[in-house]
Amino acid sequence: MRVLVIGSGGREHALLLGLDRDPSVSELHVAPGNAGTASVATNHAVDVASAEAVVALATEIGADLVVIGPEVPLVLGVADALRAAGVDTFGPGAQAARIEGSKAFAKDVMAAAGVRTARAETVDNPADLDAALDRFGPTWVVKDDGLAAGKGVVVTTDRSAARAHAADCLENGHPVLLESFLDGPEVSLFCLVDGETVVPLLPAQDHKRVGDGDAGPNTGGMGAYAPLPWLPDEMTQRIVDEVVAPVAAELSARGMPFNGLLYAGLAIDAEGPAVVEFNCRFGDPETQAVLELMESPLGEALAATARGTLADLPPLRWHDGAAVVVVLAAENYPGRPRTGDPIRGADGEGILHAGTARDADGTVVSAGGRVLSVVGRGDDLAGARAQAYERLAGVTLVGAHHRTDIGKAAEDGLISI
């Protein structure tokens, strides 16, 4: 099976490595890829937001399967164009991808499906903002109603900070969603979805804030771990039954069946799961941790989803133990990152590339905000953390920063529901 992966981050590097372990996968391509993906696949400099360009590439290389990593090409309908050209594609069409592309649409789907989520209100007129803010708090959750690469959300007890973020979104022509704050630890559950068939992967937890102890602004994700030792085993099936399956059924009922990876971001409290957000694709960096533990052939699972035969897929198998991923970020991230600096140790074991490139001399240099994902695996969370940070210690990038506490609260038994 010849597979084309769309995207350029750590998620895509992890997907390629997982696919490379599948004996049914004979050839790997990626567009556009990065400096690290070139070691496992053929990189192609293609505009992945262009359906025409992606279809042309898939046709040229004779792709048997296309796996779309990022949300932007999905929301823009690249999967629709590939399917129209007769190419098996893992990733939802534009209509179903609105589950991530429009938070207001996601709320409407959840309401119709009877899925528990935060109370929400959409504001599209600055004149209505203050009155709306008064109906929320004392912790405000303000979301840009659109794609924001994980950084369009502000959660704060400071009303002025909430108002400033909302006003900035409105000034840029984006409606904002105000939500009630959901208490309880967060869970990321990835599910393969083929219409109304749902197969969950391992639950994971992301670390969104830039600094230790969840300090500072939101980022695209500074690290993750899987599985979750504090989450009862039966909760995964409960999330499928109460959240993912009803949403998949509702999308199908609306004539926009979901095909691909449906990512439920949830808060778990005494009442059970409540949805914080949905994404229409694999999350980054949770993918790097989850796929590290996947024993089943990845290509077989993704192809079954794309071809509508997910119900026939054998039960997924997982390695014992735990995996931890720590993100190495460039100086000033999540602001405008410093780029172009050489990276030493970037080709070590367990190091996945994201914001990297090669300069004219062939040296690996930084080329984005989240530069590398460093993965560790162990018999337990402590062992996985130790290996991840040991590997990270071998990497040098001027001005880079990372969190030192990925998975630490779970390791110390400080998370409970």
Predicted confidence (pLDDT) per residue in 383-414, tens digit? 999 999 999 999 999 999 999 999 999 999 99
Assigned CATH for 322-411: 3.90.600.10
- The pTM of the full predicted model, rounded to 2 decimals, is 0.93
Choices 1.10.287.470, 3.30.450.40, 3.40.50.20, 3.40.50.200: CATH for 2-95? 3.40.50.20
- Rounded to whole angstroms, the Cα distance separating 275 from 266 reads 4
- For 141-158, the pLDDT digits (tens) are 998 887 655 557 888 999
Among 165, 173, 186, 166, which residue's Cα sits nearest to residue 277? 186
Q: Does domain 120-179 have CATH number 3.50.50.60?
A: no
- Rounded to whole angstroms, the Cα distance separating 80 from 95 reads 9
* Domain parsing of the chain, residue ranges: 2-95, 120-179, 183-312, 322-411
8 A C-beta contact, residue 322 and residue 226: yes
pLDDT at 348 over 80: yes
8 A C-beta contact, residue 310 and residue 36: no
- For 58-97, the pLDDT digits (tens) are 999 999 999 999 999 999 999 999 999 999 999 999 999 9
**Residue linked to tokens 């803010």:** 133
Fold classification of 183-312 is: D-amino Acid Aminotransferase; Chain A, domain 1 (3.30.470)
